[in-house]
Amino acid sequence: MSSLSRELVFLILQFLDEEKFKETVHKLEQESGFYFNMKYFEDEVINGNWDEVERYLGGFTKVDDNRYSMKIFFEIRKQKYLEALDKHDRSKAVEILVKDLKVFASFNEELFKEITQLLTLENFRENEQLSKYGDTKSARAIMLVELKKLIEANPLFRDKLQFPNLKSSRLRTLINQSLNWQHQLCKNPRPNPDIKTLFVDHSCGQPNGARAPSPANNPLLGSIPKPGGFPQLGAHGPFQPAPTPVAPLAGWMSNPPAVTHPAVSGGAIGFAAMLKHPRTPSAANPSMDYPSGDSDHVSKRPRPVGLSEEVNLPVNMMPVTYPQSHSYPQDDFHKAVARTLSQGSAPMSMDFHPVQQTLLLVGTNVGDIGLWDVGTKERLVVRNFKVWELGKCSMALQAALVKDPTVSVNRIIWSPDGTLFGKMS
Protein backbone atom coordinates (compact mmCIF):
# COMPACT_ATOMS: atom_id res chain seq x y z
CA MET A 1 0.00 0.00 0.00
CA SER A 2 1.34 3.42 -0.96
CA SER A 3 2.22 6.05 1.62
CA LEU A 4 -0.76 8.23 0.63
CA SER A 5 -3.16 5.29 0.87
CA ARG A 6 -1.80 4.53 4.31
CA GLU A 7 -2.34 8.14 5.38
CA LEU A 8 -5.86 8.00 3.99
CA VAL A 9 -6.60 5.11 6.35
CA PHE A 10 -5.51 7.27 9.28
CA LEU A 11 -7.81 10.08 8.09
CA ILE A 12 -10.70 7.61 7.94
CA LEU A 13 -9.85 6.34 11.42
CA GLN A 14 -9.92 9.90 12.75
CA PHE A 15 -13.25 10.56 11.02
CA LEU A 16 -14.82 7.34 12.36
CA ASP A 17 -13.64 8.15 15.87
CA GLU A 18 -15.02 11.71 15.69
CA GLU A 19 -18.33 10.31 14.46
CA LYS A 20 -18.41 7.74 17.30
CA PHE A 21 -18.27 4.63 15.08
CA LYS A 22 -16.35 2.83 17.80
CA GLU A 23 -16.65 -0.79 16.61
CA THR A 24 -15.85 0.20 13.03
CA VAL A 25 -12.78 2.14 14.17
CA HIS A 26 -11.27 -0.88 15.90
CA LYS A 27 -12.19 -3.19 13.03
CA LEU A 28 -10.33 -0.93 10.59
CA GLU A 29 -7.37 -0.70 12.99
CA GLN A 30 -7.20 -4.49 13.06
CA GLU A 31 -7.75 -5.09 9.33
CA SER A 32 -5.31 -2.42 8.19
CA GLY A 33 -2.69 -3.24 10.83
CA PHE A 34 -1.52 0.37 10.77
CA TYR A 35 -2.37 1.45 14.31
CA PHE A 36 -2.51 -0.66 17.46
CA ASN A 37 -4.88 1.01 19.89
CA MET A 38 -3.32 0.18 23.25
CA LYS A 39 -6.18 1.71 25.23
CA TYR A 40 -8.74 -0.48 23.47
CA PHE A 41 -6.53 -3.54 23.95
CA GLU A 42 -6.18 -2.80 27.67
CA ASP A 43 -9.95 -2.48 28.10
CA GLU A 44 -10.60 -5.79 26.37
CA VAL A 45 -7.99 -7.58 28.50
CA ILE A 46 -9.33 -6.13 31.76
CA ASN A 47 -12.87 -7.15 30.75
CA GLY A 48 -11.72 -10.66 29.82
CA ASN A 49 -12.97 -10.51 26.23
CA TRP A 50 -10.39 -13.07 25.14
CA ASP A 51 -11.80 -13.82 21.71
CA GLU A 52 -11.72 -10.10 20.80
CA VAL A 53 -8.27 -9.72 22.36
CA GLU A 54 -6.83 -12.43 20.09
CA ARG A 55 -8.81 -11.26 17.06
CA TYR A 56 -7.47 -7.71 17.48
CA LEU A 57 -3.91 -8.94 18.01
CA GLY A 58 -4.23 -11.12 14.90
CA GLY A 59 -4.28 -8.02 12.73
CA PHE A 60 -0.74 -7.21 13.82
CA THR A 61 1.03 -10.48 14.61
CA LYS A 62 0.68 -14.27 14.72
CA VAL A 63 1.77 -16.76 17.39
CA ASP A 64 4.91 -17.91 15.58
CA ASP A 65 6.09 -14.53 14.23
CA ASN A 66 8.78 -14.08 16.90
CA ARG A 67 9.46 -14.84 20.54
CA TYR A 68 7.69 -11.67 21.71
CA SER A 69 4.51 -12.60 19.87
CA MET A 70 4.67 -16.17 21.16
CA LYS A 71 5.00 -14.93 24.74
CA ILE A 72 2.08 -12.51 24.28
CA PHE A 73 -0.30 -15.22 23.05
CA PHE A 74 0.93 -17.70 25.66
CA GLU A 75 0.26 -15.30 28.56
CA ILE A 76 -3.25 -14.54 27.27
CA ARG A 77 -4.19 -18.20 26.78
CA LYS A 78 -2.64 -19.23 30.08
CA GLN A 79 -4.73 -16.61 31.88
CA LYS A 80 -7.87 -17.82 30.10
CA TYR A 81 -7.00 -21.41 31.15
CA LEU A 82 -6.40 -20.47 34.80
CA GLU A 83 -9.69 -18.57 34.99
CA ALA A 84 -11.56 -21.65 33.74
CA LEU A 85 -9.83 -23.77 36.39
CA ASP A 86 -10.62 -21.17 39.07
CA LYS A 87 -14.32 -21.49 38.14
CA HIS A 88 -13.96 -25.30 38.30
CA ASP A 89 -15.06 -25.46 34.67
CA ARG A 90 -12.94 -28.53 33.76
CA SER A 91 -14.46 -29.06 30.34
CA LYS A 92 -13.72 -25.48 29.36
CA ALA A 93 -10.19 -25.78 30.72
CA VAL A 94 -9.58 -28.96 28.69
CA GLU A 95 -10.91 -27.24 25.55
CA ILE A 96 -8.50 -24.32 26.06
CA LEU A 97 -5.63 -26.71 26.73
CA VAL A 98 -6.23 -28.67 23.54
CA LYS A 99 -7.18 -25.86 21.16
CA ASP A 100 -5.11 -22.94 22.44
CA LEU A 101 -2.17 -24.13 24.51
CA LYS A 102 -1.11 -27.32 22.71
CA VAL A 103 0.53 -25.22 19.97
CA PHE A 104 3.24 -24.26 22.48
CA ALA A 105 4.12 -27.91 23.21
CA SER A 106 6.45 -28.06 20.22
CA PHE A 107 8.43 -25.14 21.62
CA ASN A 108 8.48 -26.16 25.30
CA GLU A 109 7.11 -29.61 25.97
CA GLU A 110 7.97 -29.59 29.70
CA LEU A 111 6.01 -26.38 30.23
CA PHE A 112 2.99 -27.82 28.45
CA LYS A 113 3.08 -30.96 30.64
CA GLU A 114 3.23 -28.82 33.79
CA ILE A 115 0.21 -26.82 32.64
CA THR A 116 -1.68 -30.04 31.90
CA GLN A 117 -1.04 -31.38 35.42
CA LEU A 118 -2.93 -28.41 36.87
CA LEU A 119 -6.11 -30.26 35.84
CA THR A 120 -5.42 -32.84 38.54
CA LEU A 121 -5.35 -30.29 41.36
CA GLU A 122 -8.43 -29.21 43.26
CA ASN A 123 -6.96 -25.68 43.43
CA PHE A 124 -4.20 -24.77 40.98
CA ARG A 125 -2.73 -22.45 43.67
CA GLU A 126 -1.33 -25.65 45.21
CA ASN A 127 1.30 -25.40 42.50
CA GLU A 128 4.23 -23.53 44.02
CA GLN A 129 4.67 -21.18 41.04
CA LEU A 130 0.98 -20.18 41.19
CA SER A 131 0.66 -19.93 44.96
CA LYS A 132 0.52 -16.10 44.82
CA TYR A 133 -2.20 -16.00 42.19
CA GLY A 134 -4.88 -13.68 43.58
CA ASP A 135 -8.35 -13.00 42.22
CA THR A 136 -9.20 -12.68 38.53
CA LYS A 137 -9.14 -8.87 38.44
CA SER A 138 -5.70 -8.50 39.99
CA ALA A 139 -4.29 -11.35 37.88
CA ARG A 140 -5.46 -9.64 34.68
CA ALA A 141 -3.92 -6.35 35.77
CA ILE A 142 -0.56 -8.00 36.49
CA MET A 143 -0.62 -9.83 33.15
CA LEU A 144 -1.50 -6.61 31.31
CA VAL A 145 1.65 -4.91 32.57
CA GLU A 146 3.70 -7.77 31.14
CA LEU A 147 1.79 -7.71 27.84
CA LYS A 148 2.40 -3.99 27.34
CA LYS A 149 6.14 -4.49 27.81
CA LEU A 150 6.16 -7.34 25.30
CA ILE A 151 4.17 -5.33 22.74
CA GLU A 152 6.42 -2.28 23.05
CA ALA A 153 9.51 -4.50 22.63
CA ASN A 154 8.06 -6.41 19.67
CA PRO A 155 9.54 -5.04 16.39
CA LEU A 156 6.27 -5.86 14.57
CA PHE A 157 4.55 -3.11 16.57
CA ARG A 158 7.18 -0.50 15.80
CA ASP A 159 5.61 2.74 14.49
CA LYS A 160 2.13 1.33 15.16
CA LEU A 161 1.61 2.45 18.74
CA GLN A 162 1.41 6.20 18.07
CA PHE A 163 -1.42 7.79 16.10
CA PRO A 164 -0.25 10.59 13.75
CA ASN A 165 -0.65 14.14 15.01
CA LEU A 166 -3.55 15.46 12.90
CA LYS A 167 -5.59 18.61 13.09
CA SER A 168 -9.19 17.90 13.95
CA SER A 169 -11.53 16.91 11.12
CA ARG A 170 -8.67 16.65 8.64
CA LEU A 171 -10.71 14.54 6.18
CA ARG A 172 -13.49 17.11 6.22
CA THR A 173 -10.94 19.82 5.48
CA LEU A 174 -9.65 17.97 2.43
CA ILE A 175 -13.17 17.33 1.12
CA ASN A 176 -13.97 20.99 1.66
CA GLN A 177 -10.92 21.99 -0.38
CA SER A 178 -11.89 19.57 -3.13
CA LEU A 179 -15.41 20.99 -3.36
CA ASN A 180 -14.08 24.52 -3.53
CA TRP A 181 -11.65 23.50 -6.25
CA GLN A 182 -14.44 21.83 -8.25
CA HIS A 183 -16.55 24.96 -7.88
CA GLN A 184 -13.73 27.13 -9.18
CA LEU A 185 -13.77 25.05 -12.38
CA CYS A 186 -17.48 25.66 -13.00
CA LYS A 187 -18.23 27.54 -16.22
CA ASN A 188 -21.11 29.41 -14.58
CA PRO A 189 -20.27 29.43 -10.85
CA ARG A 190 -23.17 30.34 -8.61
CA PRO A 191 -22.44 32.56 -5.60
CA ASN A 192 -24.16 30.18 -3.14
CA PRO A 193 -24.01 26.64 -4.57
CA ASP A 194 -26.11 24.03 -2.78
CA ILE A 195 -23.87 20.95 -2.87
CA LYS A 196 -25.88 17.93 -1.77
CA THR A 197 -23.69 14.97 -2.76
CA LEU A 198 -20.09 13.87 -2.76
CA PHE A 199 -20.74 10.90 -5.06
CA VAL A 200 -20.07 12.90 -8.22
CA ASP A 201 -18.02 16.00 -9.00
CA HIS A 202 -19.77 19.29 -8.33
CA SER A 203 -20.83 21.37 -11.31
CA CYS A 204 -23.07 24.43 -11.30
CA GLY A 205 -25.92 24.21 -13.82
CA GLN A 206 -27.27 27.14 -15.76
CA PRO A 207 -27.71 30.06 -13.35
CA ASN A 208 -31.20 30.65 -12.05
CA GLY A 209 -32.77 32.30 -9.04
CA ALA A 210 -30.64 34.59 -6.88
CA ARG A 211 -27.22 35.22 -8.36
CA ALA A 212 -24.37 37.71 -8.42
CA PRO A 213 -24.93 41.20 -9.89
CA SER A 214 -25.19 41.14 -13.69
CA PRO A 215 -25.65 43.80 -16.40
CA ALA A 216 -29.41 43.58 -15.91
CA ASN A 217 -29.28 44.69 -12.28
CA ASN A 218 -25.90 46.42 -12.02
CA PRO A 219 -25.22 48.92 -14.81
CA LEU A 220 -21.77 49.71 -13.38
CA LEU A 221 -20.25 46.31 -13.98
CA GLY A 222 -21.38 45.58 -17.52
CA SER A 223 -21.18 41.96 -18.66
CA ILE A 224 -19.25 39.57 -16.45
CA PRO A 225 -16.56 37.60 -18.30
CA LYS A 226 -16.61 33.83 -18.17
CA PRO A 227 -14.22 32.42 -15.59
CA GLY A 228 -10.96 31.24 -17.01
CA GLY A 229 -7.30 30.76 -16.25
CA PHE A 230 -7.81 27.85 -13.83
CA PRO A 231 -5.20 25.11 -14.25
CA GLN A 232 -6.47 21.59 -14.92
CA LEU A 233 -6.20 18.85 -12.31
CA GLY A 234 -3.01 16.79 -12.50
CA ALA A 235 -2.80 13.20 -13.63
CA HIS A 236 -2.22 11.86 -10.15
CA GLY A 237 -5.77 12.02 -8.88
CA PRO A 238 -7.06 13.43 -5.60
CA PHE A 239 -3.70 13.41 -3.87
CA GLN A 240 -2.38 16.32 -5.93
CA PRO A 241 -1.97 19.39 -3.68
CA ALA A 242 -4.27 22.27 -4.47
CA PRO A 243 -2.38 25.11 -6.19
CA THR A 244 -4.17 27.87 -4.29
CA PRO A 245 -5.58 28.15 -0.76
CA VAL A 246 -9.32 27.60 -0.62
CA ALA A 247 -11.90 28.49 1.96
CA PRO A 248 -13.77 26.03 4.19
CA LEU A 249 -17.38 25.24 3.41
CA ALA A 250 -20.12 26.40 5.77
CA GLY A 251 -21.49 23.55 7.83
CA TRP A 252 -18.18 21.71 7.49
CA MET A 253 -15.65 24.37 8.38
CA SER A 254 -15.26 27.94 9.55
CA ASN A 255 -13.20 31.08 8.78
CA PRO A 256 -13.85 31.88 5.10
CA PRO A 257 -10.89 33.94 3.84
CA ALA A 258 -11.00 37.50 2.64
CA VAL A 259 -10.76 38.23 -1.06
CA THR A 260 -8.55 41.15 -2.07
CA HIS A 261 -8.69 42.99 -5.35
CA PRO A 262 -5.81 44.05 -7.61
CA ALA A 263 -4.08 47.38 -7.04
CA VAL A 264 -4.64 50.19 -9.54
CA SER A 265 -2.22 53.06 -10.21
CA GLY A 266 -2.91 56.56 -11.52
CA GLY A 267 -4.32 59.83 -10.22
CA ALA A 268 -7.94 58.96 -11.06
CA ILE A 269 -9.78 55.67 -10.58
CA GLY A 270 -11.01 54.17 -13.85
CA PHE A 271 -13.88 52.03 -12.55
CA ALA A 272 -15.03 49.41 -15.04
CA ALA A 273 -15.57 45.69 -14.40
CA MET A 274 -12.44 45.07 -12.35
CA LEU A 275 -13.81 41.97 -10.64
CA LYS A 276 -14.48 38.77 -12.49
CA HIS A 277 -16.52 37.37 -9.59
CA PRO A 278 -18.11 39.95 -7.23
CA ARG A 279 -18.88 38.37 -3.90
CA THR A 280 -22.53 37.95 -3.02
CA PRO A 281 -23.12 37.03 0.63
CA SER A 282 -26.20 35.46 2.17
CA ALA A 283 -27.81 35.49 5.58
CA ALA A 284 -25.87 35.25 8.82
CA ASN A 285 -24.36 31.89 9.54
CA PRO A 286 -24.49 30.19 12.96
CA SER A 287 -21.33 28.86 14.51
CA MET A 288 -19.69 25.97 12.71
CA ASP A 289 -19.59 22.43 13.98
CA TYR A 290 -16.08 21.61 12.87
CA PRO A 291 -12.95 23.75 13.19
CA SER A 292 -10.79 24.15 10.11
CA GLY A 293 -7.38 22.61 10.09
CA ASP A 294 -6.24 25.15 7.50
CA SER A 295 -7.37 28.43 8.99
CA ASP A 296 -3.83 29.80 8.67
CA HIS A 297 -4.65 30.66 5.04
CA VAL A 298 -6.98 33.44 6.16
CA SER A 299 -5.70 36.89 5.27
CA LYS A 300 -4.03 38.68 8.18
CA ARG A 301 -4.25 42.25 6.86
CA PRO A 302 -6.00 44.89 9.05
CA ARG A 303 -9.67 45.47 8.39
CA PRO A 304 -11.23 48.97 8.33
CA VAL A 305 -13.92 49.57 10.90
CA GLY A 306 -17.34 48.73 9.50
CA LEU A 307 -15.99 46.87 6.46
CA SER A 308 -16.06 43.22 7.43
CA GLU A 309 -14.04 40.85 5.26
CA GLU A 310 -16.03 37.75 6.32
CA VAL A 311 -19.12 36.59 4.47
CA ASN A 312 -21.37 34.43 6.62
CA LEU A 313 -23.65 31.93 4.89
CA PRO A 314 -26.42 29.60 6.08
CA VAL A 315 -25.26 26.18 7.25
CA ASN A 316 -26.78 24.48 4.22
CA MET A 317 -24.98 26.78 1.79
CA MET A 318 -21.47 26.49 0.44
CA PRO A 319 -19.46 29.75 0.27
CA VAL A 320 -17.86 30.57 -3.04
CA THR A 321 -14.13 31.09 -2.79
CA TYR A 322 -12.07 32.39 -5.66
CA PRO A 323 -8.28 32.37 -5.94
CA GLN A 324 -6.73 35.58 -4.71
CA SER A 325 -4.91 36.18 -7.97
CA HIS A 326 -5.25 34.91 -11.52
CA SER A 327 -3.74 35.63 -14.90
CA TYR A 328 -6.61 36.46 -17.23
CA PRO A 329 -6.21 37.16 -20.95
CA GLN A 330 -6.20 40.88 -21.73
CA ASP A 331 -9.30 40.52 -23.91
CA ASP A 332 -11.32 39.45 -20.84
CA PHE A 333 -11.09 42.90 -19.26
CA HIS A 334 -13.44 45.78 -20.05
CA LYS A 335 -11.83 48.73 -21.74
CA ALA A 336 -14.65 51.27 -21.39
CA VAL A 337 -14.44 53.42 -18.23
CA ALA A 338 -17.78 53.50 -16.40
CA ARG A 339 -16.84 55.88 -13.56
CA THR A 340 -13.98 58.29 -12.94
CA LEU A 341 -13.42 59.13 -9.28
CA SER A 342 -10.84 61.78 -8.41
CA GLN A 343 -8.97 60.68 -5.31
CA GLY A 344 -6.28 63.35 -5.53
CA SER A 345 -3.30 61.01 -5.14
CA ALA A 346 -2.28 57.91 -7.05
CA PRO A 347 -4.34 54.90 -5.85
CA MET A 348 -2.25 51.92 -4.72
CA SER A 349 -4.98 49.54 -3.52
CA MET A 350 -8.75 49.15 -3.76
CA ASP A 351 -11.20 46.82 -2.07
CA PHE A 352 -14.98 46.48 -2.40
CA HIS A 353 -17.21 45.94 0.60
CA PRO A 354 -18.27 42.25 0.68
CA VAL A 355 -21.95 43.11 1.30
CA GLN A 356 -22.57 46.60 -0.07
CA GLN A 357 -20.79 46.10 -3.36
CA THR A 358 -20.97 49.70 -4.49
CA LEU A 359 -18.74 50.78 -1.57
CA LEU A 360 -15.10 51.04 -2.59
CA LEU A 361 -12.19 51.57 -0.19
CA VAL A 362 -9.14 53.23 -1.76
CA GLY A 363 -5.60 53.66 -0.43
CA THR A 364 -3.13 55.97 -2.13
CA ASN A 365 0.63 56.23 -2.50
CA VAL A 366 0.85 58.93 0.19
CA GLY A 367 -1.30 57.16 2.76
CA ASP A 368 -4.67 58.77 2.01
CA ILE A 369 -7.73 56.60 2.60
CA GLY A 370 -11.03 57.23 0.82
CA LEU A 371 -14.40 55.49 0.93
CA TRP A 372 -16.50 55.93 -2.22
CA ASP A 373 -20.00 55.07 -3.33
CA VAL A 374 -19.27 54.22 -6.96
CA GLY A 375 -22.98 54.31 -7.83
CA THR A 376 -23.37 58.00 -6.93
CA LYS A 377 -19.66 58.94 -7.37
CA GLU A 378 -19.81 60.39 -3.85
CA ARG A 379 -16.78 60.24 -1.57
CA LEU A 380 -18.25 59.27 1.79
CA VAL A 381 -15.11 59.36 3.95
CA VAL A 382 -11.61 60.73 3.45
CA ARG A 383 -8.63 60.48 5.79
CA ASN A 384 -5.33 62.14 4.95
CA PHE A 385 -1.84 61.40 6.16
CA LYS A 386 0.09 63.72 8.42
CA VAL A 387 3.72 63.17 9.40
CA TRP A 388 5.22 64.37 12.67
CA GLU A 389 8.81 65.62 12.62
CA LEU A 390 9.31 65.47 8.87
CA GLY A 391 13.01 66.11 9.28
CA LYS A 392 13.55 62.66 10.81
CA CYS A 393 12.11 60.90 7.75
CA SER A 394 14.25 59.61 4.90
CA MET A 395 15.03 62.00 2.09
CA ALA A 396 13.01 59.89 -0.36
CA LEU A 397 9.92 60.10 1.86
CA GLN A 398 10.38 63.84 2.42
CA ALA A 399 10.64 64.40 -1.34
CA ALA A 400 7.51 62.36 -1.99
CA LEU A 401 5.56 64.26 0.66
CA VAL A 402 6.70 67.66 -0.53
CA LYS A 403 5.42 66.85 -4.04
CA ASP A 404 1.92 66.27 -2.62
CA PRO A 405 1.07 68.84 0.10
CA THR A 406 -2.46 67.43 0.55
CA VAL A 407 -1.22 64.85 3.03
CA SER A 408 -2.94 65.02 6.42
CA VAL A 409 -4.00 61.43 7.74
CA ASN A 410 -2.86 60.56 11.26
CA ARG A 411 -1.36 57.09 11.30
CA ILE A 412 1.25 55.59 13.60
CA ILE A 413 4.58 55.42 11.76
CA TRP A 414 7.71 54.04 13.39
CA SER A 415 11.29 54.45 12.19
CA PRO A 416 13.75 51.50 12.34
CA ASP A 417 15.19 52.88 15.59
CA GLY A 418 11.75 53.04 17.23
CA THR A 419 11.07 56.78 16.80
CA LEU A 420 7.36 57.64 16.61
CA PHE A 421 6.67 59.71 13.45
CA GLY A 422 2.88 59.77 13.08
CA LYS A 423 -0.44 58.47 14.32
CA MET A 424 -3.66 57.30 12.68
CA SER A 425 -6.75 59.19 13.91
- What are the pLDDT digits (tens) for 76-102? 999 999 999 999 999 999 999 999 999
| Coil, helix or strand at residue 413 | strand
Q: What percent of the chain has pLDDT over 90?
A: 42
- Asked if residues 423 and 412 have their Cβ atoms less than 8 Å apart, the reply is yes
Q: How confident is the model at residue 391 (pLDDT cuts 50, 70, 90)?
A: confident
Mean pLDDT of the chain: 73
Give CA–CA dist 238/402, Å, rounded: 56
Give CA–CA dist 196/155, Å, rounded: 46
The domain spans of the chain are 36-157, 347-424
State the amino acid at position 388 in one-letter form. Answer: W
Q: Crossing angle, helix 170-184 and helix 3-18, to 10 degrees?
A: 110
- Whether residue 27 is predicted with pLDDT greater than 80 in this model: the reply is yes
- Asked if residues 80 and 159 have their Cβ atoms less than 8 Å apart, the reply is no
- Whether residue 120 is predicted with pLDDT greater than 80 in this model: the reply is yes
Would you state the pLDDT for residue 49?
A: 96
Q: How confident is the model at residue 285 (pLDDT cuts 50, 70, 90)?
A: very low
If one compares 415 and 73, the residue with the highest pLDDT of the two is 73
Count CA atoms closer than 13 A to 151's CA, side-chain side: 25
If one compares 387 and 206, the residue with the highest pLDDT of the two is 387
Element (H, E) at 378: strand 378-383
Q: How far is CA 115 from the centre of its chain?
A: 54
Would you state the pLDDT for residue 392?
A: 78
| Coil, helix or strand at residue 361 | strand
- Whether residue 258 is predicted with pLDDT greater than 70 in this model: the reply is no
- Whether residue 148 is predicted with pLDDT greater than 80 in this model: the reply is yes
Cα–Cα separations (whole angstroms), residue 176 to 172, 199, 245, 252: 6, 14, 11, 7
CB atoms < 10 A from the CB of 296, how many? Answer: 9
Would you state the pLDDT for residue 124?
A: 93
| Coil, helix or strand at residue 373 | strand
Give CA–CA dist 168/218, Å, rounded: 42
- What are the pLDDT digits (tens) for 154-209? 999 999 999 999 999 999 999 999 999 999 899 888 888 888 899 999 988 755 44
CB atoms < 10 A from the CB of 48, how many? Answer: 14
Q: How confident is the model at residue 403 (pLDDT cuts 50, 70, 90)?
A: low
- Tell me which DSSP letter residue 54 carries: H
3-state secondary structure 326-350: CCCCHHHCCCCCCEEEECCCCEEEE
- Burial (0-12, 13-18, 19+ Cβ within 10 Å), 410: middle
If one compares 73 and 402, the residue with the highest pLDDT of the two is 73
Would you state the pLDDT for residue 330?
A: 54
